[in-house]
Structure 1
Amino acid sequence: MVGLIALAIAIHPAAETQRWFFVVALALGLASDVFLMLPRDMFLAGLVAALVEHVAYIAGFRVRGLQATWMLVALLIALVSVAVFLPPIYRALRATHPSLVVPVFVYVAVFVVMVAAAGSTGSPTALAGALLFFYSDAILAWNRFVKPVRFGRIVNVVPYHVAQALLVLSLLA
C-alpha cells in the first residue's frame, strides 16, 4: 500500500484533485489493513476505516464527472454481486456476530455507491478496480464469517492489491 500511495503521488493524473482524494483513500486502506491484521476485536475499526476509504474514492471519482449509462451498468453489476455474495454472509453474521450486521450493511451500501461512482467515470480501469476490490472484500468476509476458503488469504490479498493498483492507474485516464 505504501508503494501505491507513492505511485499515486508521483504520477501525473488527469485530475489533480482526484489524486489527493485517492491518496487519502489509500492511506485509510492502509489503516484498515492494519486493523484487520489485528485480533478480531479490531474488525469494526478496520471496517470503519475502509468505509471512509470508499467515501474518499467516491469523492475522487465525482471529480471526473458523470456518465450515467456507465454508472447504471456498474450499479447493476454491484447489486447482482451483492445478491449473490451477501445472503450467506449476513446469515453467518446474524448467527455469530449480530452486532456487525448493521455496520456491514452500511459498509456494503457505501461500497455499492463506490462501484457505481467508479463506473460513472467511464473508465474501464476504475470500474475493474472497484469491482475487484468488492470481490476481494466479499472473499475476506466469506473466509472470516461463513467458512474458510482454500488459500483464502491469498485469494483475498492478491485481488485486493491488484484492485488498488487499478484504481491508482485509473488516475491516468
Structure 2
Amino acid sequence: MSTHVWLLSVALGITALLNWSAVLRGDHVVERITKPTFMLLLGGLAWSLFTDSPPVDAPHLTPLLVALGLSLVGDLLLLTATEVRFRLGLLAFLAAHVAFVWTLLTVPGPSGFPWLVLPAVLVVFLMHGRFGRHVVRHAGRDRFAVLVYVLALATLLVVAAVKGDWVVIAGCFLFLVSDTILGHDRFVHERRWAPVTVMVTYHAAQLLIVLGLLR
C-alpha cells in the first residue's frame, strides 16, 4: 500500500468517526463538514487504488467516479432535507445507483450460473415485504419516485450478486439497509437511533463497494 493510499485510508476513518459522533450529538456544523469530506476522500482513494495497482478485472473508473460524485451531490442535498432538496437528493442517488450498476457491468462475472442471485432476490423480497412496501405506501406524493428508487437499489444488489464478489455484495446490501432505514425513518416512524445507523451503514456500503471493485 502506497503512502498516499494509507494516508487517505486513515483520513477516511477519522472523518467517518467524526461524522458519526456529530450525528449522535446533533452537531450540525461538524456533520456538514464531514459528510461531504468522506465522499471526497473516498473518491480520492478510488482514484489512487486504480492508478497505483489496478486489478486485472478492474471496472471502468469513469462510471465509478460518476457514482461517487453523484453520491456526494446527494449527500449535500440531504444535509438540509426540505421537500424539494429531498426529492433532488433522491434523484441524485438514483442516478448514482445507475452509475454503480454501469460500473458493475464493466466487470467480468464468474462462469456458469450465478447462484448468488437466488439469495439476493430472496433478500430483496423479504426486505421489501417487511419494510420497503410500508415506506412506499407512506411516501405520499413521492410514492412513485420512492418505488423507482427501491427498484434501483434492488437491481444494484442483484447485479452485484451476478458478478459474485462478496465484498461488493456486502456493500450493496448495506446500501439497501441504509436507505431502507432512512426511508422508514422519514416516511413511517422516526427512531432516535436511525440517523447514526443510516450513516454507519452508508459509509460502510460505499467503502466496501470501492474496495471490492479495486482491491
| Native 8 Å contact 1:61 1:118 kept in 2 | yes
Distance 1:83 1:160, change over 3 A: same
Is 75-84 or 113-122 further displaced after alignment? 75-84
1:28 aligns with 2:70: yes
Pair 1:71-2:117 in alignment = yes
TM-score by length of 1: 0.90
Q: What code does the residue aligned with 2:195 have? A: R
Partner of 2:130: 84
Unpaired runs of 5+ residues, structure 2, are: 1-38
Structure 1 82/172 Cα, relative in aligned 2: closer, same or farther at 3 Å? same
CA distance in 2 between counterparts of 1:18 and 1:118 reads 15
Q: For residues 204 and 121 of structure 2, what CA distance do their matches in structure 1 show? A: 21
How much is the aligned-residue C-alpha RMSD, in angstroms? 1.5
Distance 1:34 1:27, change over 3 A: same
Q: Please, which runs of 5 or more residues in structure 1 have no aligned partner?
A: none
- Equivalent position of 1:43 in the other structure: 86
Q: Is the 8 A contact 2:137 2:143 kept in 1?
A: no
Matched, 1:9 2:51: no
- CA deviation digits over 1:58-107, x for unaligned, max 9? 011111134422233322222221221112212322xxxx2200011111
Higher relative contact order (CA 8 A, sep 6+): 1
**Alignment correspondent of 2:19:** none
Check whether the contact 1:54–1:114 (CA below 8 A) recurs between aligned residues: yes
Change (3 A) 1:20 1:3: same
The question of whether the paired residues in 2 share the 8 Å contact of 1:18 and 1:171 is answered with no
Q: Which has the larger radius of gyration?
A: 2
Q: Which amino acid aligns with 2:75?
A: D
Distance 1:76 1:66, change over 3 A: farther
1:11-57 Cα offsets, whole Å, 9 max, x none, are 03334543322111011001011111122321111111111100111
Tell me the number of residue pairs that the alignment of Structure 1 and Structure 2 aligns.
169
Aligned to 1:19: 61
TM-score (norm 2): 0.74
Q: Is the 8 A contact 1:71 1:120 kept in 2?
A: yes
Do the aligned residues in 1 keep the contact of 2:131 with 2:180 (CA within 8 Å)?
A: yes
- In 2, the alpha carbon distance for the partners of 1:74 and 1:17 equals 21
Is 1:104–2:142 an aligned residue pair? no
When residues 17 and 171 of structure 1 are mapped into structure 2, their CA distance, relative to the original with a 3 A threshold, is: closer
